[in-house]
Each structure stands twice: as structure tokens, then as C-alpha cells.
Chains A and B, each alone.
Chain A
Amino acid sequence: MNATAIWLALLVVGALIEVLGRLRPTRVSSLGRALSMMAQRTSGRAILILLWVFVGFHLFARYTVPHG
């Protein structure tokens, strides 16, 4: 099986976790709450910002349009 399908499956699982987090907030955290939990520490906020900067450069300054 092509791993692209696994990436898509992970995306779907993430969406399902998000839905669960909104339906049962006491048992599962939504992504926003999970990130807020991480951001309670200064180091967590710094890591999130670095990740955001990395994503920006990787996606918009260093992307490669696939051929074929």
C-alpha cells in the first residue's frame, strides 16, 4: 500500500480525534486544548513558534513541485 494513503489515514484519524474532543471534552482534548496545554510553559511556546517558522520556510520557500 502506498504510504500516501497512510498519511491520509492519519489526517482522518486526527479529524476524528478533534471531533471526539469536541463531543467528549472531559475524556479527549481537542487540538487547540492540547496545544494550549503545551503552551503553558515558555519552552512549549518557543517550540510551537519554531515549528511554525519551520513549516513556513519548508512549505513556501523550499517546496518542490512534483513532476509527472
Chain B
Amino acid sequence: MKGTIAAVVVMTGYAWVSAGVAPFTTLSYFLVTIPCVAIVVAFVLLGGLSRGHQEVSAYYLRNAGGASTLSVAPWIALLTAAVVLESVGLILGGRSPSVPTLSTTVDHLLAYRWERCLICLAWLLVGVAPLHGLRLSRVRGSLS
């Protein structure tokens, strides 16, 4: 529990620093690259990208809880609608005021540093979540 709290505090600090850096600078790319490399390397070390680790697939099979193509159909429909809307926005030039792309819409949420910090923290947590799950699963002995 203490480790989890410490990790969240560190990630919050990192998100705050990242949120204060101007975009399109070397430092902004560097600050995004660090967690990307760290998390991808950790995921690979846990066997997340190895075809030989059947246990990893079994872990996700358990988490899927019997999900089928039919039960995920609403998500596929939602994704399709988003892709269509994004395509229309891109065809209209990407910055059309009537049909903005998703990134143009999201840019409005990135105007203030605290907003960028919160979204960056959420992004980091999403990246760390599978590592946490795989590691816990391994600790519990489900993975060998």
C-alpha cells in the first residue's frame, strides 16, 4: 500500500513537471519518452510481449471474464462512430470549427497546466495498470 501511494505521488510530481513544459520542444519529447521506455521495458520483462508466455494470455483471459464479440459490439460501434467523425474532421482540414477532430477538441482541455497535469497523470496510470496487474498476478503465484 505504501509503495502504491509513493508511486502515485511520484507520478503526480512527474505529471506536474511534464505539464509545465512547452510543447514541440526537445524537453517535452524527452519527458514523454522516459515513461514510455520505462513502461514498455517493464512490460517486456514481465513477458507481456512474448509469444511464449501463455500465462500472460491466461491472465488477460481471466480479466476478459468471458467477453465475446457480441458483448463488445457496443464498443466496436462507438469506435467506428469516432473513426468516422475523426475522418470527416480530417477531410475538412483538421481544424474546421464545425467538425473538429478529436485532438482539436481535446486541445481545449489542455489549456491550463493543472488540466494537463491531471490528464498526464491519468495517462501514466493507464500505462502502469497492466504492469501492476501482471506483477500482482505473478506474486500470487498465477504466473510461474
Contacts and interface: CB of A to CB of B under 8 A. Distances in A.
Interface of A: 2-4, 6-7, 10, 13-14, 17, 20, 25-29, 31-34, 36-37, 39-42, 45-46, 49, 52-53, 55-66
14 contacts: A4-B100, A33-B67, A34-B72, A40-B57, A41-B57, A42-B49, A46-B49, A52-B127, A59-B106, A59-B120, A60-B28, A60-B31, A65-B110, A66-B111
B82 A10 contact: yes
Contacts of A2: 97-98, 100
Interface string B94-128: 00011110111111101100001001100100110
Interface residues of B, number: 56
Contacts of A49: 40, 43, 49
Given A39-B130, A45-B43, A60-B23, 17 more contacts: A3-B88, A3-B98, A14-B75, A29-B64, A34-B71, A36-B60, A37-B72, A39-B63, A40-B64, A42-B50, A45-B49, A56-B127, A59-B106, A59-B120, A60-B19, A60-B32, A63-B110
B5 interface: no
B108 A66 contact: yes
Nearest to A3: B99
Contacts of B127: 52, 56
Contacts of B99: 3
Nearest to A7: B105
A63 B123 contact: no
Given A2-B98, A29-B67, A52 B108 contact: no
Contact of B35 (A31, A46, A56): A56
Q: Which of B75, B106, B111 has the most CB of A within 10 A?
A: B75
B8 interface: no
B6 to A, nearest CB: 22
